[in-house]
Structure 1
């Protein structure tokens, strides 16, 4: 009876597969190309003719071609957001950028010789901090012969960006509560941008643990 029930449900699972994957569009729908540069580069190739006959997904609300638009900054705003209050998250990150710029300008004024080496652009510093905090490996518990081994496994690009931003926010929120979040976040971003601080230490500790457990790496395939 269980087999017959499973066989009945199989076609339904195939039909509803895309809805269960949290998408309103079937898999054959392509992503919207909203960038004019990308459109012009595609028009020069034969791929543009192929894509013109395919159904297109609607572009996201926050997709933009503006020079001020940055995907990583938008992601950071999304991770700061709590209870759906995105406006507050945007304001907090803007205040954090103000703090970063103020600190960097103070450093330039104190040391005029290092004017060309010190970056005052907060967006560039945030991107650099995220890149410095990205882990390459992580430990995964794999059970073999009744024993759980901590096996080093490579991290996907998407997850590495997520972990970097999550660690920066956690480090900022763990600091003393007397200081406001924008100021705490600003210092964490600056520390990570210069390869210092708790977030970079956390990444290095994780890499060190993966290095010490490399003897169990073969369990990933066995």
Structure 2
């Protein structure tokens, strides 16, 4: 039995279509070209402020627009759940992990309000003993503070972090926690170039990984 903390976007959920749609409303209001889905995916992972910075840079907009565009995105973001899907096997995996006695948490760079909104949308809000978003603390991943705070909130002890990206790998490394890399998310770096303890491409595999980790 152990503590298992998950990233959210690109790990448990494929939220890129909703993020793309919300971001395109912001870009459309600035009179510039919208993003396609691959471009939007490439901007995800470091939190909403960085997402906006990348959108501004990609469209050559004035950086002074950041606060206005970010506020608009955040207004849209909380209800941006209807194009989001769970990755295959997530529900059964979470059931199996809970049945095995593991304590589950979320540590994501997605702001806390939309994080909780999408968890409610999938009726998963009661599965996680602690939820840390990108604005829960003054710092975001890859700073290890949110992950370590989530770990403490779940009672500490042996732990595993599960994520999909370069940011997640760096966060786990900085926090000195074992890292399980989900390969179907939003990473841009080859798997063998990312530090990880375990690797998997379907959530059917995660209960066995957890059993090995906490043996």
What is the TM-score with the length of structure 1 in the denominator?
Answer: 0.27
Answer 1 or 2: which has greater strand percent. 2
Answer 1 or 2: which has greater helix percent. 1
What is the TM-score with the length of structure 2 in the denominator?
Answer: 0.27
